[in-house]
Amino acid sequence: MSDARYRRVPAGRLSRLSAFSQLAGGIAGGMLAESVRRLASGERPRMSDLLLTPDNAVRVTNQLSKLRGAAMKLGQMISMDAGDVLPAELTAILARLRDSAHFMPAAQLNKVLISQWGPDWRRQFKHFDARPIAAASIGQVHRATLQDGTVLAIKVQYPGIADSIDADVDNVASLLHMSNLLPGTLDIAPLLAEAKKQLNEEADYVREARQMRRYKKLLANDPVFLVPEPYASLSGQRILAMDFIPGQAIEEIEAQPQDLRDKAVSALMDLVLRELFEFGYMQTDPNFANYRWQREGGKIVLLDFGAARAVPAQTVEAYRRLIQAGLGDDSLALRDTLIDTGFVSPITLQRHQVALDGMIGILMAHLGKPGLFDFADRGFVDEVRRYGESIVADSAAWHIPPADTLFVQRKVSGTALLAIRMKAKLPLRDMVAERL
């Protein structure tokens, strides 16, 4: 692992603001260069074309991976949620944010551990591996062995990250406004407030330990899933210690035979349905790094419960109605439910009913097929995208669904993205009907 991945986390408000300013300046410079190039070739470029270039995507991913924190987290969300919207090359660049976080240098790590455990913290351990086994947007994970031989995974939060969340979200919002990608009529304030709330919850490791115990209890008798146990005496607001459960990256399943891929994805898809319709509680972050796979036995380790939250009854009911309409092959009921529950705005229906009905028809025909659903079959996506082009181009029709719906849909979409990567084949219609 290259030492180039070690980079001090900018913890101060001014240092983070400076980084955002550099990012904005780099994007603006890239837009100007692209504009000159296109004008010279006789094109009349649109603002979105100038902003969404591979060069600018590289600038964004590099800077956000250095910043870490809420800024990087928001970038990860975009990379997972926009897979069928952004061009493939941009999606691939943004996907780097899922595993490209830098590590804290040893001196900065030691300072954090001293602040949490005291200057003699090393005496508690037989061994503490200073090189992280994982790094993400809010913290990095180390493997350590206690004096009695107990092996732990210890998540250490980056310094200053919790205090920077609100400012980071505001700075990302400023970048979006600067780009003119969002219409002035689109009110994103409620979504930003909800994002700040959830990200602050994710930075609270005491809360995460409670969510981990909740899931360990919910899945206590499950034959597939394993959940770590928090180690309370070494845990706190900014450090979360837990028993170490070995496993490989979930992506390793991609190279396995079809039946093993189907079994793993089926378990994860069924977990989403159970969370929604049985638990009323969902871990809403489907980042692939939150799953580990054990080759022997085929069990799946669930990690990172910072984004676990209750699913409101009205959100559960919205999904129940949507699925019932889909299972009943009732496209009109499905469209009405999309409007009633806030997935789609009345303005969108009024201005783009033909396109909306076309998209619904394609999705129902594809998703409602009896037998095995082949996630590798993406032939319908281009058809849906063609119908959606008119809606995307009409900024007056843009609409933000309720925040609780967005968080649930993020988990649904992220799990589907994993299923696509694994080329899974599942009896999806039967699975949904059974859990409903």
The model's pLDDT over 75-114, given as tens digits with 9 standing for 90+, comes to 545 544 444 444 454 455 445 555 556 788 889 899 999 9
Claim to verify: residue 26 and residue 173 sit in the same structural domain: yes
pLDDT for residue 50 is more than 80: no
Mean pLDDT value across the chain: 80
| E strand map for 148-231 | 151-157, 225-226
Claim to verify: residue 330 and residue 222 sit in the same structural domain: no
> Is 188 inside a domain boundary?
no
> Is 191 inside a domain boundary?
no
Average pLDDT over every residue of 213-218: 97
Claim to verify: residue 269 and residue 384 sit in the same structural domain: yes
Residues 6+ apart with CB under 8 A from 202: 73, 138, 208, 285, 306, 307
pTM across the whole model = 0.79
Claim to verify: residue 286 and residue 354 sit in the same structural domain: yes
Claim to verify: residue 38 and residue 121 sit in the same structural domain: no
> Is 312 inside a domain boundary?
yes
Q: Which residue has the tokens 């100038």?
A: 50
Tokens matching residue 80: 């997972």
The pLDDT of residue 177 is: 64
Claim to verify: residue 27 and residue 131 sit in the same structural domain: no
What percent of the chain shows pLDDT beyond 70?
73
Claim to verify: residue 66 and residue 132 sit in the same structural domain: no
Tokens matching residue 120: 């003699």
Cα distances (Å, whole numbers) of residue 256 to 142, 287, 337: 28, 20, 39
> Is 291 inside a domain boundary?
yes
Residue of 285, 304, 336, 340 with catalytic role = 285
> Is 47 inside a domain boundary?
yes
Claim to verify: residue 31 and residue 85 sit in the same structural domain: yes
Distance CA 108, CA 102 (A): 13
Q: Which of 25-39, 154-168, 263-277, 409-423 has the lowest mean pLDDT?
A: 25-39
The pLDDT of residue 205 is: 95
Buried-exposed string 117-129: b where 16+ CB fall within 10 A, e elsewhere: beeeeeeebeebe
Q: Which of 41-45, 143-147, 379-383, 411-415 has the lowest mean pLDDT?
A: 41-45
The answer to whether the beta carbons of residues 60 and 389 sit under 8 Å apart is no
Helix (H, G, I), strand (E, B) or coil at 283: strand
Per the structure, the complete domain to which residue 294 belongs is given by 249-436
Q: Does 285 qualify as catalytic in the annotation?
A: yes
Hey, what's the torsion of the CAs at 312, 435, 433, 305, to 10 degrees? Answer: 60
Higher pLDDT, 423 or 368: 423
**Where among 245, 272, 300 does a domain terminate?**
245
pLDDT for residue 360 is more than 50: yes
pLDDT in tens, 125-172: 999 999 999 877 788 899 999 999 999 999 999 888 788 778 777 776
> Is 44 inside a domain boundary?
yes
CATH of the domain at 214: 3.30.200.20
Claim to verify: residue 348 and residue 416 sit in the same structural domain: yes
Q: How many structural domains comprise the chain?
A: 3
Claim to verify: residue 256 and residue 319 sit in the same structural domain: yes
Claim to verify: residue 39 and residue 131 sit in the same structural domain: no
pLDDT for residue 179 is more than 60: no
Q: Which of 89-93, 297-301, 344-348, 401-405 has the lowest mean pLDDT?
A: 89-93
**Where among 190, 225, 245 does a domain terminate?**
245
Claim to verify: residue 67 and residue 144 sit in the same structural domain: no
> Is 29 inside a domain boundary?
yes
> Is 189 inside a domain boundary?
no
The answer to whether the beta carbons of residues 424 and 263 sit under 8 Å apart is no
